[in-house]
Amino acid sequence: MDCASRLTGFAAEFETAFEAALHEKMENAPPRLGEAVRHAALAGGKRIRPFLVHECASLFTSAGQDTRSAAFAIECVHCYSLVHDDLPAMDDDAMRRGKPTVHIAFDEATAILAGDCLLTLAFEYLSSCRDTGPLSAILARASGGAGMVGGQLLDLAAEGRFGGGEAGDTATVIRRIQSMKTGALITAACEMGAITAGASDGQRRALGEYGSHIGLAFQIADDLLDAEGDAAKLGKAVGKDAHAGKATFVGMLGVEGARKRLGETVESARGVLGGLPGNTAMLSDLAGYIATRDR
Amino acid sequence: MDCASRLTGFAAEFETAFEAALHEKMENAPPRLGEAVRHAALAGGKRIRPFLVHECASLFTSAGQDTRSAAFAIECVHCYSLVHDDLPAMDDDAMRRGKPTVHIAFDEATAILAGDCLLTLAFEYLSSCRDTGPLSAILARASGGAGMVGGQLLDLAAEGRFGGGEAGDTATVIRRIQSMKTGALITAACEMGAITAGASDGQRRALGEYGSHIGLAFQIADDLLDAEGDAAKLGKAVGKDAHAGKATFVGMLGVEGARKRLGETVESARGVLGGLPGNTAMLSDLAGYIATRDR
């Protein structure tokens, strides 16, 4: 089965399991909050992060409950970050994946709280795992001030939101923002999959390295998609990031330069798979898939 | 030493330790985010939740690193909740403890991200503990959709924010909002202190029950303070909650009725301390202190 089919099949199964898992956790929450959380979390999406958790774990063992919990956790964090990033005070997006964003479908207060709820749920899912400590440490570092949340702040700073200065506009800064905002969580997904499957520290580190390469590939591909894509595929206004003055690889390297960098990054990702056990073919395909998705 | 002096002494020590702990965790975060987190977390405050963690643990053993980590975690959650509750889309408060709130001192986007960062940090602190799983489970449930975050949504609903209906206005609803919004985290503080000190399940439950009584006392005292207090002591506009149509115990029972309920609640809290080991005098004093604070 090719990577795209496998991911599609995984996403469909994940959707069902995630819906049931959220239903259970939100039973005692106010109905409006449960609806907003479902709107944010069950909006489709490619489910690449939980897929990575699952595929990395599958190198070592068949997926068990801890792998599923880690997959729910990382997707909760990803979904919360979209809800908060879309808020009027942040990127002010009204549409996401062809649907109204949470603050449009509900209201701003509910959107802030639904995001908070999803972030909290992530760590609740991890709390039932055998290795809660290492899993929580990895997820928290990847999504906190030195990771995703810090990257979002630097991204806003690069737009000149806070009077400029903090982020600058060099290639190093763009790479740093990408690495914090997108790469950290993708790296964490790979490492968390390894941990839930009982991988060694060395194996976990190798998968983390793979994750950091495909995280970079993911962001370059996203920038190219934004620069070249069509609105129907992305479900958001095309060229919005570029118009908003956001730091992008296309802005830094041009379209051709970004494509070249993307190819090199995919090869780097594949390069670290050699030392790992199990069938790494799917992870190799996934690196290529990420570079060509939706084109 | 009386309770107020002990709490004051604890708060001073906690402030120093918390500042150092936050400094370490925020070293690799963007400076602006670190400053906003410090503004939110080091704004003084009574530090009642970490004090509860510490005092409950002290019944069983002298406080170790896990007790300190749990105390940092619960205060991170409390501080994040204040930052998000103060946002224009929520309670729209410009002042807190006599200082500008985070979105006033910085901006809305930074305030949202500083709150997200503090919530994430809470679980990072717990990740290094021996019992990360149970501690994370308790903290996540207390602060999530069936706890603090859900309580804040019901509180906004009770104001009629979402077209009314969800919360209603009966005594049961007021009690439920209080229990979710304030009580759950105070209960969690007591249980987390017990866990970090190796208490039995029964002892943990007894301290949780104590916590739920003093959480209720805390909220009734807060409502009375809001109805009767003076602005200088509270550092916010007096009567604001009542004017905003918020569900309060004073609104439900009147000032005298609320005072009577407060006294009964303190006695209930003291009632569960009998079966616990160690010197419970401080916890007994604390129940009374909470009922009379700032008056």
**Two structure tokens written together for B98:** 């006599």
**Two structure tokens written together for B56:** 């409950």
| More reliable by pLDDT, B247 or A10 | A10
Question: Is pTM beyond 0.90 here?
Answer: yes
Angle at A21 between CA A18 and CA A27, to 5 degrees: 130
Distance CA B228, CA B230 (A): 7
Q: Which of A31, A221, A50 is nearest to A125 (CA)?
A: A50
Are residues A109 and B90, on separate chains, in Cβ contact within 8 Å?
A: yes
For B190, the enclosing helix (H) or strand (E) is helix B184-196
- B46 close to A (CB below 8 A): no
Total domain count, chain A:
1
Answer yes or no: is pLDDT of B209 > 80: yes
pLDDT score recorded for residue A116: 98
Are residues A140 and B127, on separate chains, in Cβ contact within 8 Å?
A: yes
DSSP letters spanning B105-166: HS-HHHHHHHHHHHHHHHHHHHHTSTTHHHHHHHHHHHHSTTTHHHHHHHHHHHTTTTSS-S
Among all chains, which residue has been given the structure tokens 């604001």? B240
For B290, the enclosing helix (H) or strand (E) is helix B281-292
Residue from the list A29, A127, A133 with its beta carbon closest to the beta carbon of B146:
A29
Q: Which residues of chain B lie closer than 8 angstroms to A115, CB-CB?
A: 116
Expressed as residue numbers, the domain containing A271 is 3-292
Confidence band for B295, pLDDT divided at 50, 70 and 90: very low
Q: What's the mean pLDDT in B155-169?
A: 74
Domain CATH for B27: 1.10.600.10
Model confidence pLDDT, tens digit, residues A151-165: 999 999 988 888 755
* Average pLDDT of chain B, as a whole number: 91
Answer yes or no: is pLDDT of B243 > 60: no
pLDDT score recorded for residue A148: 98
pLDDT score recorded for residue B169: 57
- Residue of chain B nearest A83, judged by CA positions: B112
| More reliable by pLDDT, A134 or A292 | A134
Q: Which residues pair with B165 in a beta bridge?
A: none
Model confidence pLDDT, tens digit, residues A119-170: 999 999 999 999 999 999 999 999 999 999 999 999 999 888 887 555 555 6
| More reliable by pLDDT, A180 or B243 | A180
Among all chains, which residue has been given the structure tokens 């500008």? B100
Are residues B145 and A31, on separate chains, in Cβ contact within 8 Å?
A: no
Model confidence pLDDT, tens digit, residues B35-86: 999 999 997 889 999 999 999 999 999 879 999 999 999 999 999 999 999 9
| More reliable by pLDDT, A243 or A157 | A157
Q: What's the mean pLDDT in A208-218?
A: 95
Which residue out of A37, A116, A131, A166 would a mutagenesis test of the B interface target, given it has the greatest number of B Cβ atoms within 10 Å? A116
- The amino acid sitting at B228 is E
Are residues A134 and B127, on separate chains, in Cβ contact within 8 Å?
A: yes
DSSP letters spanning A215-235: HHHHHHHHHHHHHH--HHHHS
ipTM of the complex model: 0.93
Model confidence pLDDT, tens digit, residues A77-90: 999 999 999 999 99
* Average pLDDT of chain A, as a whole number: 91
